[in-house]
Chains A and B, each alone.
Chain A
Amino acid sequence: MSDIIKIKKGFDIKISGKAIEKVSSPMVSSYALKPTDYIGITPKLLVKEGDRVKAGSPVFYSKLNEKILFTSSVSGTIESIQRGDKRAIEEIIILADSTQEYEDFGTDSLASMQRENVVEKLLKSGLWTLIRQRPYSTIPNSEVQPKCIIVKGFDSSPLGADYNFLLKGKGTDLQLGVDVLRKLTSGKIHVNISATQTTCDELLRLENVQINRFEGPHPSGNVSVQIANIDPINKGDIIWYIDAQDLAIVGKLFASGKLEMQKTIALVGPEVKNPQYFSVRFGACVSSIVENNVNTDKNLRYISGNILTGISISANGYIGTYDNLISVIEEGDYYEFLGWITPGIKKFSLSRTFLSGFCNLLPSKFRKPAQIDTNLHGGKRALVLTGEFEKVLPLDIYPMQLIKACIIEDIDLMEQLGIYEVDAEDFALCEVIDVSKTDIQQIIRNGLELIRKEMGE
């Protein structure tokens, strides 16, 4: 057993509405593929409205890399194609059949397969899109060999799903998934788990992997933080990563030859009446999940993902490919009289300028859940305070300097300051505590995208 890697900086935001260990299988008839889930993808459609698809049929491909196919998780009929600004495709909505039909991807023995056969099968089935790379968090180029692959085995974000529960009974699929990854790189397969949350049995039993145990507050579950501690990324390095639940799906494909994109997601948040887990297919519509299970007397925000990095969706929106959480919180569209001067016993703040801030000195299990909503709590200002971001960013990075380098679009400076080692999500806590209310994640994302385009990747 490897040593425990301790992450000291960061903060666990405690809010109510953690999912209890109970899984339901809701009836969902509407599914969607959202090209916007994937960074740097320009979709080219392979279907039109009214077409029939099976589970595993390609729906669109990437314009820049035609080999990367995006497939349907269900069999059914293409109901509509939603477009946004400049006719960009936002959602491809599929109406599911009552009985599922599957494309056949074959059940050749993995041992006899070469790397290119494995890659081809993953690309064809669409499961390739579940792997992402650092830097940039894009879907990787299949011709490149990464220096290592990371399996994300826990979620440290607020109300994050319990992976021990998500992965229960998926041990065989996971091991097969690891064997698939083994074919893709000669480097190590790292399985990163939490040392403090319930020990993840299925992951601990895996063979041919290196288990890394992490302890500490969020963002200890972020891939960047883990990479920095196990195998720091340098300019030119490529590291791949995949979520453990997605890895089980990869394993299942190689075992059965069928694409069964079923995963367990959690419905969480202070506005959820009975927070719990649901077993759904990828891209499921959330309406049947949230219906009658949220406080409808309030104006609510539904988020695919966690409250720090997720994407806002409507009450009948669709869950994102990489998300296993639906968070529901209250909208904060209210005025507050002299709100900036109140003592703030009930307000959420990491600073000790509010009385509630002193409670944050306690370990998270002794704290009362914070009351949060989506109010910005102030106007946007110039960046003034210094030394705050460093407290919640457990990376050897100068955050303020990097943010400013991204704003002025100085690529050389961004590289020097370590842009390849980070992703937008690492700055979520900085964004939360920022007094100037700057949209820091967007700034970092823009910086990464600028470099990616400049590099022609």
Chain B
Amino acid sequence: MKWVRNLLDNMKPNFQKGGKFPWLHSTFDAFETFAFVPKTTTTSGAHFRDALDMKRTMTMVILALMPALLFGTYNIGFQHFHSINPELSFFEGFWDNLWYGVIKILPIIVVSYVVGLSIEFGFAQWRKHDVNEGFLVTGMLIPMVMPPDVPLWQVALATAFAVVIGKEVFGGTGMNFLNPALLARAFLFFAFPSSMSGDNVWIAEKADAFSGATPLAEMMVGGNLPSTSFWDMFLGIMPGSIGETSSIAILLGAAFLIITGIGSWRITLSVFIGGALMGLTFNFFGSNPYTQIPFYYHYVMGGFMFGAVFMATDPVTAAQTNRGKWIYGILIGAMAVLIRVVNPAYPEGMMLAILLLNVFAPLIDYYVVDANIRKRVKRWKIKGGQNV
């Protein structure tokens, strides 16, 4: 790979101060560091550092998303052909299904990355920062929480909104308080409700005769157990947002995130606990049929699982203290189920639950840290110190 290095070394002076394109420095740096880990050495503090960097961290999350993405791609195709021919079994026409899915999803991914990365590069350039890798994950999450039929211009608009308003105005990656991918979805949800809700958007180019309602919508309207079986929902053979349907694919990703230590097991586990607590509470006190479904149905319907594993765990927007993470997660799970069951306006509560707790995460942390501070003050007072 010497020639790549030589090529980069020859180009480098052009992008440095005094070169031809100093204003493209961040862009060049992003590509250079993508190809080569830089030769920078430690100058202060510990003389050696862990090999893990932000690029690898983000790559790990993208790898964890792959099972859900691949399944989602296939499911787009299957749901489309299944709506035309309800007799179709899952593996029938495998390549047709896959190909159809790829054709549908690829443009969405491309639009999300091109729009988002352009803005990220622009801001990095403007601020004279290095380009942060955070958007590599956001750019993949955005397509996965979209319905398959979403118009591309809306994806572009939502991505731009999420990156600029959700992230860059606060100072970029690490400074935002709302999950950018969910913000993109929420933006479309409220700005273009016809693209993001109802029974017609969850299957790409659905045959008109087919109902196309997601299990959540069925629960909402009918109040009966959804027509899809628990196991089909667990496997993900149902209409829905691109990446959210298959619990098993998402759980594979979750296992990967937890084994590598990139995802917070505390948050994921506590979201499930929160969902179960609220589900069981409804089972106990509830009066209408929706309150009576077993709590684990909530896990496999809609975006609960996807949110618990990939959205709630975003370290920047989640609670940052370990104790705070438990509270944050339990509240997300409980809120999501509460919104689903009680609020007639929204069939899906996960997105709003996470965004709500994103807002409250700093407050949770404040009280957790405050307990530590008060313990310190108390210890000091016992020793005869004065009040602070």
Q: Which residues of A contact B (CB under 8 A)?
A: 232, 234-237, 301, 303, 307-310, 312, 327, 329, 331-341, 344, 347-354, 372-387, 390, 396-398, 400-401, 415-418, 424, 428-429, 431-437, 439-442
Task: Contacts A376-B40, A379-B54, A432-B48 known; list 14 others, CB within 8 Å.
Answer: A234-B379, A236-B385, A327-B47, A379-B29, A379-B53, A382-B171, A382-B172, A382-B174, A384-B173, A384-B315, A387-B320, A418-B372, A431-B49, A433-B52
B41 interface neighbour in A333, A347, A349, A401, Cβ under 8 Å: A333
List, in ascending order, chain A residues with CB within 8 A of B259's CB.
352
Q: Which residues of B contact A (CB under 8 A)?
A: 1, 4-5, 29, 33, 35-57, 59-60, 130, 132-134, 171-175, 259-262, 264, 266, 315-316, 318, 320-322, 325, 365, 369, 372-373, 375-377, 379-380, 383, 385, 388
* Residue ID in chain B nearest A306 by CB atoms: B47
Given the complex of chains A and B, what is the CA–CA distance between A249 and B330 in angstroms?
A: 58
B56 interface neighbour in A353, A390, A436, Cβ under 8 Å: A353
Given the complex of chains A and B, what is the CA–CA distance between A234 and B386 in angstroms?
A: 11
List, in ascending order, chain A residues with CB within 8 A of B4's CB.
337
Given the complex of chains A and B, what is the CA–CA distance between A416 and B320 in angstroms?
A: 18
A435 in contact with B53 (CB, 8 Å) = yes
A374 in contact with B56 (CB, 8 Å) = no
A341 in contact with B56 (CB, 8 Å) = yes
List, in ascending order, chain B residues with CB within 8 A of A347's CB.
51
Q: A303-B47, A308-B47, A337-B1 are in contact. Are A332 and B373 (CB under 8 A)?
A: no
A310 in contact with B260 (CB, 8 Å) = no
B45 interface neighbour in A327, A349, A383, A431, Cβ under 8 Å: A431
List, in ascending order, chain A residues with CB within 8 A of B380's CB.
234-235
Given the complex of chains A and B, what is the CA–CA distance between A329 and B318 in angstroms?
A: 39
A339 interface neighbour in B36, B42, B60, B315, Cβ under 8 Å: B36
Q: A353-B262, A442-B44 are in contact. Are A337 and B36 (CB under 8 A)?
A: yes
Interface of B is mostly: loop
B48 in contact with A340 (CB, 8 Å) = no
A434 in contact with B383 (CB, 8 Å) = no
Given the complex of chains A and B, what is the CA–CA distance between A327 and B42 in angstroms?
A: 15
List, in ascending order, chain A residues with CB within 8 A of B46's CB.
307-309, 428-429, 431-432, 441
A440 in contact with B45 (CB, 8 Å) = yes
A353 in contact with B261 (CB, 8 Å) = yes
Q: A382-B172, A387-B325, A428-B46 are in contact. Are A335 and B39 (CB under 8 A)?
A: yes
* Residue ID in chain A nearest B132 by CB atoms: A381
Q: A234-B385, A353-B261, A432-B50 are in contact. Are A386 and B318 (CB under 8 A)?
A: yes
List, in ascending order, chain B residues with CB within 8 A of A416's CB.
373, 376-377, 388
List, in ascending order, chain B residues with CB within 8 A of A397's CB.
372
- Give the distance to chain A from B125, nearest Cβ to Cβ, in Å: 15
List, in ascending order, chain A residues with CB within 8 A of B385's CB.
234-236
Q: A379-B33, A439-B44 are in contact. Are A348 and B379 (CB under 8 A)?
A: no
A349 interface neighbour in B44, B52, B133, B375, Cβ under 8 Å: B52
B50 in contact with A348 (CB, 8 Å) = yes
B315 in contact with A386 (CB, 8 Å) = yes
List, in ascending order, chain B residues with CB within 8 A of A375's CB.
37, 39-42, 48-49
- Give the distance to chain B from A357, nearest Cβ to Cβ, in Å: 8
List, in ascending order, chain A residues with CB within 8 A of B322's CB.
387, 390
List 23 A–B pairs whose Cβ atoms lie within 8 Å, in order of A's numbering. Answer: A234-B379, A307-B46, A329-B48, A337-B36, A341-B59, A349-B50, A349-B51, A351-B262, A352-B259, A353-B52, A353-B60, A376-B42, A376-B49, A377-B51, A377-B53, A378-B38, A379-B38, A381-B133, A386-B264, A387-B264, A398-B369, A434-B49, A439-B44
